[in-house]
Amino acid sequence: MTDKNDHIANDVLFEWLLRRGDTALVLGHRVSEWCGHSPVLEEDIALANIALDLIGQARMWLGLAGEVEGKGRGENELAYLRDAWDFRNLLLAEQPNGDFGKTMMRQFFIDVFQMQMLKALQGSTDPRIAAIAAKAGKEVAYHLDRSADLVIRLGDGTPESHQRMQTALDELWSYTGEMFASDAVDRAMAEAGLAPDPASLQAEWQATVQEVLTDATLILPESTFAHKGGLEGRHTEHLGHILAEMQFLQRAYPGATW
Amino acid sequence: MLVTTNTVWQWLGEIPDPEIPVLSLTDLGVIRDVHWQEETLVVTVTPTYSGCPATAVINLDIETKLRSHGITNLRLEQQLSPPWTTDWLTDRGREKLRAYGIAPPVRETGAPSASKGRIARLTGQSDVVVACPRCGSQDTEKVSQFGSTPCKAAYRCRACLEPFDYFKCH
């Protein structure tokens, strides 16, 4: 495949690729904040490893986004030289870590979504997208295995861990609807056979989440209200702080290399 | 006169994996192809895990090795598809891992049938059995899904009581 896709405008494809890459990058950065702070050493190592996988996936998506855009920007320029309004990540990914339970609940929600999305993307008509999805899908399956397990163990654990997991669920629930709110970019991608319409993933997502939460003895909130905007560049106040930290070196010393 | 690709494979087989040096890059199964494109040697490498910090070092090691043999006209290509799997570890590599104290991946559990483990757990089935690389006992338990590198999980043997790394299936 060349850099010109027959069925879709490059800017639409670019926009969609940023959503994949930015969500992985921002979540990867968030998870990496646990490094040195986890409740036990094994969790510290596990979270650092998961962060590494996510940042690796972000590199693949952003690398391809840069190629598609064709303006000479690569993964580094896209990660370090854009401001908050140019980021296209899910609002859920930028939410603060909170306690360990909240981090796990956030991870679980995104893992289930990623898992389904990446599975569907392996059938993309663009072989580059299919290849990244196959690679990332194996890692996300492993992450999901772990996050689902921990949500169950903590939810169905002590009164204290149960309460914390229920609080995490209640706090984060309103950020999950954004994953399935399709817009023109999603519809164009779906029509071109490049990606699934995320709305089509919602029922299965909800069923898997419900299954795990039932085992975890947690109660799904009834509200269907969804915070949106991240995929169009309207973010919560938290993203600016992430970028300030992540992009410090490039901002202070533009073009620095070593 | 260009050196044969067989010779190149042999050289590549001498490069240790940066994180698990008992394994060579060919044991690991990350070299997918070696061929001459006219005067240029093209080596195709597939990454193990997408965020593996060793990937850059592996590429540098390949380049250094080939240059030391006088090959200056070379290109490294990255191939994502089909994705690397632990099923590509050679038998020799698996044996070297075990001798080194790392349990090799249980065969054919790295295939891309996603979320198998989670479903197995949710339905109460047990995980794969990992034998202790030290005493061979199958009475082992997982301590953590992740170990000292992204490719390993931490296990413990209930028979000889030693902790060990398991090269996880992927």
CA separation for the pair A197, A205 (Å, rounded):
13
pLDDT for res B117 = 52
**Locus of tokens 């994996």:** B17
Q: pLDDT of B138-165, one tens digit each?
A: 999 988 888 888 788 899 999 999 999 9
**Does B126 contact chain A (CB < 8 Å)?**
no
pLDDT for res B115 = 46
Yes or no, beta carbons of A45 and B145 under 8 Å apart: no
CA separation for the pair B143, A10 (Å, rounded):
46
**Does A157 contact chain B (CB < 8 Å)?**
no
Q: pLDDT of B45-96, one tens digit each?
A: 999 888 888 888 999 999 999 999 999 999 999 999 999 988 899 999 999 9
The helix/strand/coil state of A7 is coil
Q: How far is CA B16 from CA A204, B20, B22, B65, B94, in A?
A: 44, 7, 7, 11, 14
**Does A43 contact chain B (CB < 8 Å)?**
yes
CA separation for the pair B31, A198 (Å, rounded):
36
Q: Are A15 and A202 in contact (CB under 8 A)?
A: no
CA separation for the pair B46, A146 (Å, rounded):
25
B81, B117, B143 member nearest A42 (Cβ) = B143
A45, A134, A140 member nearest B144 (Cβ) = A45
**Does A130 contact chain B (CB < 8 Å)?**
yes
Q: Which residues of B touch A130 (CB under 8 A)?
A: 81
Testing the interface with B: which of A135, A146, A204 to mutate, by most B Cβ within 10 A?
A135
pLDDT for res A1 = 45
Q: Which residues of B touch A139 (CB under 8 A)?
A: 49-51, 170
**Does B52 contact chain A (CB < 8 Å)?**
yes
Minimum distance, in Å, between the CA of residue B103 and any CA atom of chain A:
18
Q: How far is CA A116 from CA A27, A110, A113, in A?
A: 17, 10, 5
pLDDT for res A113 = 97
CA separation for the pair A186, A176 (Å, rounded):
17
Q: Which alpha helices (DSSP H) does A85-236 contain, by range?
A: 91-94, 100-121, 127-155, 159-172, 184-191, 202-215
Mean pLDDT (10-residue bins), chain A, 258 residues = 64 97 98 93 92 96 97 96 97 97 98 96 97 94 91 97 98 98 96 97 96 96 95 96 95 88
Yes or no, beta carbons of B170 and A138 under 8 Å apart: yes
A45, A60, A149 member nearest B50 (Cβ) = A60
The H or E element that residue A45 is part of is: helix A41-69
pTM recorded for the entire structure: 0.90
Q: How far is CA A129 from CA A120, A191, B48, B68, B80, in A?
A: 11, 15, 18, 36, 10
**Does A143 contact chain B (CB < 8 Å)?**
no
CA separation for the pair B132, B139 (Å, rounded):
8
List, as ranges, residues 6-45 from B with C-beta within 8 Å of A. none
CA separation for the pair A68, A80 (Å, rounded):
18
Q: Which residues of A touch B114 (CB under 8 A)?
A: 115, 119, 137-138, 140-141
**Count of CB contacts below 8 A, A vs B?**
100
CA separation for the pair A213, A210 (Å, rounded):
5
CA separation for the pair A214, A204 (Å, rounded):
15
Treating both helix axes as pointing N-terminal to C-terminal, what angle do A10-32 and A100-121 enclose, rounded to 10 degrees?
150
Nearest by Cα to B152 from B124, B133, B139, B138: B133
Nearest by Cα to B159 from B135, B133, B143: B135
Minimum distance, in Å, between the CA of residue B23 and any CA atom of chain A:
21
pLDDT for res A238 = 97
**Does A46 contact chain B (CB < 8 Å)?**
yes
Model-level ipTM above the cut of 0.85:
no
pLDDT for res B9 = 97
